Amino acid sequence: MDGRDWGKFLIPYDQAVEELKVKFKTMRVEMKKREEYSPIEFVTGRVKRVSSILEKAKRLNVPMDKLETGIEDIAGIRIMCQFVADIDQLAELIRARKDMRVLYEKDYIKNNKPSGYRSYHIIVEYPVQTALGMKAILAELQIRTLAMNFWATIEHSLSYKFRGNLPEHIRDRLQSAAEAAFKLDEEMSQIREEIVEAQKLFEDQSSRVSQV
Ligand code: 0O2
């Protein structure tokens, strides 16, 4: 048993997730207004479950008094993009920000995981203003396309169901689904300009209708 007060421990992480969600959602709205296009499609976030923190600490041999530095994804933000190129653009915008500091990046798009997982991870240090003063915490920003997210969400639930030991036929299907998701991203990238143009037109028309 661990005597830690998890409620208190997680306060800055809860706050960071809420703040970061607002910041990236605001970035989407701002870019839509300024440039009629945003590399962000939608944003989600979560604080890691205590059982999941403990399981990861055990797996990575992180001592209980080093959780804050040893587990980098207690605060997790997921940002979904339409196209692979949007991920690069968004990563640039994140690197230029003054309210968070990029510590390092993991490119699971160029180097996908053996499972087939693809995503771009950025580990940032983010200062939270708590009632007790400033606390810098680590947060993991996962940036992925809609296709990568579809695959990862399904693979995550299957891995959870089978406790990581996926039956071979499911593993094979997931591998080919990962290839299909990769192909979908490639195909969409080929006609990105046309899609973006069409979406801008559509947005213009809907905003005209809503103004009437
Ligand atoms: P949850 O439920 O969101 O807390 P690890 O994959 O954890 O052994 P590492 O280097 O710590 O290794 O990975 P990293 O880059 O920190 O990424 C951890 C998170 O990335 C995971 O969190 C998932 O959200 C996602 N992820 C990484 N690999 C896979 C994968 O093969 N499939 C899926 N679906 N997601 C993956 P948790 O702790 O698993 O999940």
Which pLDDT tens digit goes with each residue over 87-145? 999 999 999 999 999 999 999 999 999 999 999 999 999 999 999 999 999 999 999 99
- pLDDT of 197 over the 50 cut: yes
Atom of ligand 1 nearest to the CA of 142: 20
Residue of 13, 46, 53, 73 with the most ligand 1 atoms within 8 Å of its CB, for mutation: 73
- pLDDT of 212 over the 60 cut: no
> Hey, what are 23's tokens?
């910041």
The answer to whether residue 190 is domain-embedded is yes
The answer to whether residue 1 is domain-embedded is no
Is 4 buried (19+), middle (13-18) or exposed (0-12) by CB count in 10 A? middle
Helices and strands, number each (H, E), in the chain: 8, 5
Gap between the Cα atoms of 69 and 62, Å rounded: 9
Provide the pLDDT for residue 45. 98
Q: Which domain holds residue 198?
A: 6-211
Question: What are the residues whose beta carbons fall under 8 Å from the beta carbon of 102, sequence distance 6 or more?
Answer: 94, 95, 122, 123, 124
Respond yes or no on whether ipTM tops 0.95. no
> Hey, what are 57's tokens?
């600490």
- Please confirm, yes or no, whether 179 is among the known catalytic residues: no
Catalytic-role residue among 140, 179, 186, 194: 140
Q: What is the CATH number of the domain that holds 180?
A: 3.30.460.10
Mean pLDDT over 142-163 rounds to 96
The answer to whether residue 79 is domain-embedded is yes
Ligand 1 atom 22, closest CA: 73
The domain tally of the chain equals: 1
Average pLDDT, the chain: 94
Provide the pLDDT for residue 142. 98
- pLDDT of 1 over the 50 cut: no
**How far from the centroid of its chain's Cα atoms is residue 126's Cα?**
15
Atom of ligand 1 nearest to the CA of 151: 34
Q: Please indicate whether residue 73, judged by its CB atom, sits closer than 6 Å to ligand 1.
A: yes
The residue type found at 67 is L
The answer to whether residue 164 is domain-embedded is yes
> Hey, what are 198's tokens?
């069409």
The residue type found at 41 is E
From ligand 1's centre to the CA of 127, what distance in Å? Answer: 23
Provide the pLDDT for residue 200. 84
